[in-house]
């Protein structure tokens, strides 16, 4: 079997956060502008800066990508996101740490590396026509349970 890992781009997993925010029985998602999963819907988030706590990174990225102010509640799961080239070789491996956040204020506006930002009902995430990043629906269900929805 050929080796499909190209560790010259980035040899180690990259820690990043994703913010799961509920407001009026809807969860906030962004349509990604950049890899991995460019064009797909996922949670607002991004890389954790050196010395930055996970929770602070989650609310910072939430605001940068959507203009929504949030307050962290719980770190509740982690998922892998793989950025591969056209030949299937791994360029980057992200470990996305999910943080449940409470909505504080704001109206979603796409910013930073998001093409769109909007609220979705949980049942809308099951729509076959909606291009979601891997594990988004499952993480949203977990966040709904933790958030008492």
Q: Which domains does the chain have, with CATH numbers?
A: 14-144 (3.90.79.10)
Low-confidence ranges of the chain (pLDDT < 70): 1-10
pTM above 0.75, yes or no: yes
H or E element, residue 137: helix 136-146
> E strands, the chain, where?
14-23, 26-32, 41-42, 45-47, 69-84, 90-105, 114-120
Position 2 scores a pLDDT of 41
Q: Is 116 a catalytic residue?
A: yes
Position 8 scores a pLDDT of 54
Position 87 scores a pLDDT of 93
Cα angle 143-145-149, degrees, rounded to a multiple of 5 = 95
Q: Considering the candidates 64, 69, 116, 124, report the single residue annotated as catalytic.
A: 116
Position 1 scores a pLDDT of 42
Position 112 scores a pLDDT of 74
Report how far residue 42's alpha carbon sits from residue 21's, in angstroms, rounded to the nearest whole number: 12
What is residue 123's DSSP assignment?
A: G
62 phi, psi to nearest 5 deg: -55, -50
């Amino acid at each position: 079997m050929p080796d499909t890992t190209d560790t010259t781009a980035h040899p180690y997993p990259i820690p990043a956060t994703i913010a799961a925010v509920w407001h009026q029985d809807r969860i906030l998602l962004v349509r990604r502008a950049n890899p991995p999963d460019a064009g797909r819907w996922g949670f607002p988030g991004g890389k954790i800066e050196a010395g930055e706590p996970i929770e602070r990174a989650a609310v910072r990225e939430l605001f940068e990508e959507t203009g929504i102010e949030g307050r962290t509640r719980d770190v509740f799961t982690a998922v892998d996101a793989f950025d591969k080239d056209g030949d299937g070789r791994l360029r980057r491996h992200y470990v996305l740490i999910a943080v449940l956040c409470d909505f504080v204020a704001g109206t979603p506006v796409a910013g930073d590396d998001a093409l769109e930002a909007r609220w979705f009902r949980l049942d809308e995430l099951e729509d076959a026509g909606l291009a979601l990043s891997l594990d988004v629906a499952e993480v949203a269900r977990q966040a709904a349970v933790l958030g008492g929805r």
